[in-house]
Amino acid sequence: MRLTMLGRPGAGKGTQGALLAEHFGIPHISTGSMFRDAIRSGSALGALAKRFIDRGHLVPDDVAIRIVEERLTRGDCRNGYILDGFPRTVAQARALDAALHSTGHELDAAVEIRISDEEAVMRIAHRWVCPECGATYFRRYPACAERSRCQVCNATLTQREDDTEETARERLAVYLVQTQPVISYYEERGRLITVNGEQSIEEVFREMVDSLTRVRDELESSGAL
Ligand code: ADP
Ligand code: ADP
Ligand code: ZN
């Protein structure tokens, strides 16, 4: 299955993307993580992306489109993938459709995880991440050493540089102007699935799996998968 996850910053795209990838046995591709890896590696792409990310703005479309197109040609994407954080503009959505059509494929579903503006800012300001394995945690008070370590690999948790309350508000404003239209784009094409993101991680996951399993069964019975 070829999927994309949409939603405000902090909606749970990364959390659910990792769970879905394991459930369906397909890769989880996060453009935000790809840019952060590029920044860490010290590449020219990383330096360019950092200028935009630090301010809470989007990296230019041509750059984002290029890294995703390149990533999708890799062998592990043969049977599908879960895009997380792409497309973030209508231009990116059109480019993705064009790239898929050129290989005779289609995006099977766009899943929107819906949360409110206040919940988005609150979750981002309290997001802690594991620099080793990428696990994320919600920590209001991370002072205690045990709570500041990753439960998976025991590394010391850190906060993303763009996860300040001020940058979160800017990212949210950018989302409303540039990314919200992507939701209408998929809705008009009959490919949008919306789930309520203000439930427990387990409940959100269950709702997504139920909807996506129906999509997969329909695709299988129509011979598209
Ligand atoms: P996104 O990738 O959409 O920005 P994340 O998956 O990184 O979002 O989640 C943002 C923050 O909210 C993280 O700290 C994560 O642990 C927490 N979180 C994710 N899903 C839920 C949920 N259903 N309820 C409460 N907190 C959540
Ligand atoms: P979030 O938790 O806000 O959903 P991500 O990790 O997906 O954050 O993205 C972090 C930052 O990386 C974004 O604020 C943006 O600057 C940049 N970015 C990620 N994906 C894209 C994209 N598809 N187009 C442009 N910029 C992107
Ligand atoms: Zn870890």
What is the predicted pLDDT for the residue at 144? 64
What residues does each domain of the chain span? 2-222
Is residue 71 among the annotated active site residues? Answer: no
Angle between helices 165-174 and 117-125 (to 10 degrees): 140
The catalytic position among 50, 139, 149, 160 is 160
Q: pLDDT over 90 for what percent of the chain? A: 92
Q: Does domain 2-222 have CATH number 3.30.70.2740?
A: no
The catalytic position among 2, 36, 123, 127 is 127
Q: What pTM, to 2 d.p., does this model score?
A: 0.94
Mean pLDDT across the stretch 8-26? 97
- How would you class 223 by CB atoms within 10 Å of its CB: exposed for 0-12, middle for 13-18, buried for 19 or more? exposed
- Provide the pLDDT confidence category of residue 223 given band limits of 50, 70 and 90: confident
Residue 136 CA, ligand 3 centroid: distance in Å: 8
| Cβ 123 under 6 angstroms from ligand 1 | yes
Three-class DSSP category at 26:
coil
Question: Is 80 exceeded by the pLDDT of residue 141?
Answer: no
Regarding beta strands 127-129 and 136-138, do their DSSP bridges make them parallel or antiparallel, or are they unpaired?
antiparallel
Is residue 88 among the annotated active site residues? Answer: yes
Q: DSSP alpha helices (H): ranges in the chain? A: 13-24, 31-41, 44-53, 61-72, 90-102, 117-125, 165-174, 180-188, 201-221
For 89-117, how does the pLDDT look when each residue is reduced to its tens digit (9 = 90+)? 999 999 999 999 999 999 999 999 999 99
Question: Is 90 exceeded by the pLDDT of residue 16?
Answer: yes
Gyration radius (Cα) of the chain, Å: 17
Is residue 50 among the annotated active site residues? Answer: no
Contact assessment for residue 64 and residue 29, using Cβ atoms and an 8 Å cutoff: no
Q: What is the DSSP letter of 60?
A: P
